Structure 1
Amino acid sequence: MTDAEQDRWLPFDGLSNARDVGGLPLDGGGHVRTGVLLRTESLESLSDSDVSRLTGLLGVRQVIDLRKDGEVISFGRGALYAAGVETHRLSFIPEEGRGLPEIDGDIDPVVHNYLAYLTDRAENVVAGVRLVAGLDSGATVVHCAAGKDRTGVLVALVLSAAGVRRDDVVADYALSATRIDDMFRRWSTVAGVPMPDAEELDRHRPRAEVMDGFLALLDERYGGPVAWLQANGLTDDELAHLRARLRDDAADDVPGETVSAEGRH
């Protein structure tokens, strides 16, 4: 893990997979602004100090929750919702099940699932991008259950639309693989069940080739992530606003709170 990757992690009592996408390099120069978009797993385990830090120092003004109704019923909306932070529910998975899109060839089943988000719930996917673009100040938190699949797809679309280089979009997605053990250790402790074995943990780790394949299929089928978003309702003005919010084209150094991985607690 590079120093830049370490510096993007945000330590919390009740989160293991939390980071700011700020600092990612833009194609042509500059970086994504810090303090605009944070990605995490679900928020039910936040401590009081976590909530204070998110709403105070980190300036969180809205939450985009990508979970299904059943997940929200089982685990709750989380402490930021209880603290009055505006929370938007945008499930990417139909409650009644789903049919995977038809794809020729030997395609990874996870890629099938990601494409199904776009075919089943295109309006919610675009709405998530629109919400990030529409917040004039402060930060957005986007999360699902583990902060890797549904969150990974939405964040990849936002970063692609902002102009982040493809290799860096893929690397950001894959970075969550380093936190799978921490998340399952916390969840297992809370539930009072044994920690999953190594094979089961590996099954949950994001793989770079999955996101690379997903974005390549968007290139092939739709002309790329931005073309897909625009074909499904994102306007030119909204795209421009998103880029204005996320892009720091003149930045050589990206300011903001940075915490090393060793500083997690």
Structure 2
Amino acid sequence: MTLVNFRDPAVLADPEGRRVRRGVLHRSAQPFPSDNGPIVEQLRTAGIRTIVDLRGAAEADDVDWAGARADGVEVVAARIQPTGPALEAAMRAMTTDAELGAFYLLMAESAPGAVRLAVEAAARPGGVLLHCAAGKDRTGLLIGLLLHLLGVPAAEIVADYARTTEALPQIFEGLSERNRNALNDYHAGSLVVPRPLLEAPAGAMTAFLELVDTRYGGAEAFLTHCGVDATTVEAFRTKAAASGVTA
């Protein structure tokens, strides 16, 4: 079994190759249940040399990427914990797609060190894979920021994000097998998941990008706020920008 929701976001977000080099960034869900021969081959074929694991410590397992590590791939833990009083309050109150977008910004703001680590890893040589559990929320916001940094129009970033909708049945099946206890709690009524979190609504990414622009003045300013230095931003642009594009 290969990685679910695996793709190069440049294919949909920049189909004409005007702003993003192909093969630089990839995204996916976590491996279900852990990596194996086909997944290792998938990573090798895509030229992936670094994996950025955005899951919280309680979600990750050392065996998840054992095969990739044995194949020489470095795994960087950039933990964005989807919990805490402010995030839990926002989740309880969430009813709209725009509120999911605001939740994304709150997650990123709550973990500036993880955002910095993820961008630093994305600037390394070779292909980079970013993933969380579903490859939708934390992965979506990081990919969104990186594409925004390269000047990809918001509509194209949103289109790539929304494509995860196609993979949601597989994602939920994999998550249910891995997290059966949590799923039982959900069905018992002790865990309430807001409707937007169960989808990949275009409005959520639209709202997230708008908030980054209005509150911080764009992706670069927000990443600077998170501690990403100018050298890292330039290294990422040099690596990821299509030929002739500098911003």
Is 1:110 the counterpart of 2:83? The answer is: no
With over 3 angstroms needed to count, the CA separation of the structure-2 counterparts of 1:237 and 1:189, relative to structure 1, is closer
In structure 2, the residue matched to 1:206 is 200
In structure 2, the residue matched to 1:52 is 41
Q: Pick which of 112-121 and 156-165 moved more.
A: 112-121
Deviations 1:107-152 (A, max 9, x none): 743223212222211121122112111x12x211110000000000
Distance across 1 between alignment mates of 2:21 and 2:235: 14
**Structure 1 segments unaligned to the other structure (5+ residues):** 1-12, 252-265
- Give the TM-score normalised by the residue count of structure 2: 0.79
In structure 2, the residue matched to 1:8 is none
The answer to whether the 8 Å contact 2:19/2:151 transfers is no
Question: Which of 204, 209, 217 is the matching residue for 2:211?
Answer: 217
Q: Pick which of 142-151 and 166-175 moved more.
A: 166-175
The answer to whether the 8 Å contact 1:26/1:165 transfers is no
With over 3 angstroms needed to count, the CA separation of the structure-2 counterparts of 1:186 and 1:101, relative to structure 1, is closer
Is 1:77 the counterpart of 2:64? The answer is: yes
Match of 2:46, SS? Answer: coil
> What percentage of residue pairs aligned between the two structures are identical?
30
In structure 2, the residue matched to 1:184 is 172
CA displacement at 1:70 relative to structure 2: 0.9
Distance across 2 between alignment mates of 1:203 and 1:191: 17
The answer to whether the 8 Å contact 1:160/1:225 transfers is yes
Deviations 1:74-108 (A, max 9, x none): x843332354421111111176x2414999xx974
Question: Which of 215, 229, 240 is the matching residue for 2:234?
Answer: 240
With over 3 angstroms needed to count, the CA separation of the structure-2 counterparts of 1:123 and 1:26, relative to structure 1, is farther
Q: Which runs of 4+ in 1 moved over 6 A?
A: 189-194, 199-202
CA displacement at 1:164 relative to structure 2: 1.0
Distance across 2 between alignment mates of 1:202 and 1:216: 18
In structure 1, the residue matched to 2:138 is 150
Letter in 2 for 1:118: A
Question: Which of 45, 49, 53 is the matching residue for 1:65?
Answer: 53
CA displacement at 1:232 relative to structure 2: 2.8
The answer to whether the 8 Å contact 1:15/1:45 transfers is no
The answer to whether the 8 Å contact 1:111/1:213 transfers is yes
Distance across 2 between alignment mates of 1:245 and 1:174: 25
> What count of residue pairs does the alignment treat as equivalent?
229
- Give the TM-score normalised by the residue count of structure 1: 0.74
Distance across 2 between alignment mates of 1:110 and 1:77: 28
With over 3 angstroms needed to count, the CA separation of the structure-2 counterparts of 1:88 and 1:182, relative to structure 1, is same
